[in-house]
Amino acid sequence: MELYTYFRSSAAYRVRIALNLKGLMADYRYVHLVKDGGQQHKPEYLSVNPQGLVPVLVDRGHVLTQSLAIIEYLEETHPQPPLLPKDALGRARVRALAQVVACDMHPVNNQRILKYLETAFGADEAARKLWYRHWIIEGFKAMERLLTDNPDTGKFCHGARPTLADICLVPQVFNANRFEVDLTPYPAIKRINDHCLTLKAFADAAPEKQADVA
């Protein structure tokens, strides 16, 4: 397998964690989202993924896009260890937690969105930081409630094993720290994130551990 990745992309970070948790090896292909005006816009990369986004996983010549779809694919093709619980309600809860991050938080703070804010609305760095933090705070408020109000929350977002929810949460906490969001109001999120990072699968996937870190 080959993974097209960028150290700071939180969608790529998710797939790196999933591969590590599954004990799967992939050759990393580095796509620098800033250098050269963004290598994701170059014809070589667009021929791999016309959408110009990372990550992409190539498995036996098949090109897979969208981090959550990739992780569900890994789950179906390499079921052990599982990244989703067995029961339908548990699976729905884990997927919903993952989607709070992947649908409600991350897309809104994507690099291309911040660029549009700058270009079209003249949003300076301070205004963009406010925007970024606002959506992290909105999402973490919801997530914290979903985690604290539910007896299924354990050492991880759901029970005693890492799931898709943790895989989405940890890269989002990385972003929050990068943008200096105070995590004090989110003790459950902080506790789970800290616990995840004690696992080698999570720690090795971190941006600062990547060969393309700049």
67-77 vs 164-178: helix crossing angle, rounded to 10: 150
DSSP state of 206: S
Of the candidates 1, 137, 146, 197, which one interacts with its own copies according to CB under 8 A?
A: 146
Contact of 110 with 51, CB cutoff 8 Å: no
Instruction: Please list every residue from 109 through 128 that binds its own copies, using CB under 8 A.
Output: 113, 116-117, 120-123, 127
Nearer to its own copies, 66 or 193 (CB): 66
Contact of 69 with 11, CB cutoff 8 Å: no
Peptide bond into 207 cis (omega under 30): no
Binding of its own copies by 137 (CB under 8 A):
no
Which range touches its own copies (CB under 8 A), out of 24-32, 84-92, 188-196, 203-211? 84-92
Contact of 177 with 170, CB cutoff 8 Å: no
Q: How far is the CB of 31 from its own copies (least distance, A)?
A: 16
3-state secondary structure of 62: strand
Binding of its own copies by 42 (CB under 8 A):
no
Q: How far is the CB of 136 from its own copies (least distance, A)?
A: 13
* Alpha carbon separation from 198 to 20, 135, 162, 168, 192 (Å, rounded): 14, 27, 12, 16, 10
The residues that touch its own copies, with contacts defined as CB under 8 A, are 50-51, 53, 62, 64-66, 68-70, 72-73, 76-77, 88-89, 91-93, 95-96, 98-100, 102-104, 106-108, 113, 116-117, 120-123, 127, 130-131, 134, 142, 145-146, 149
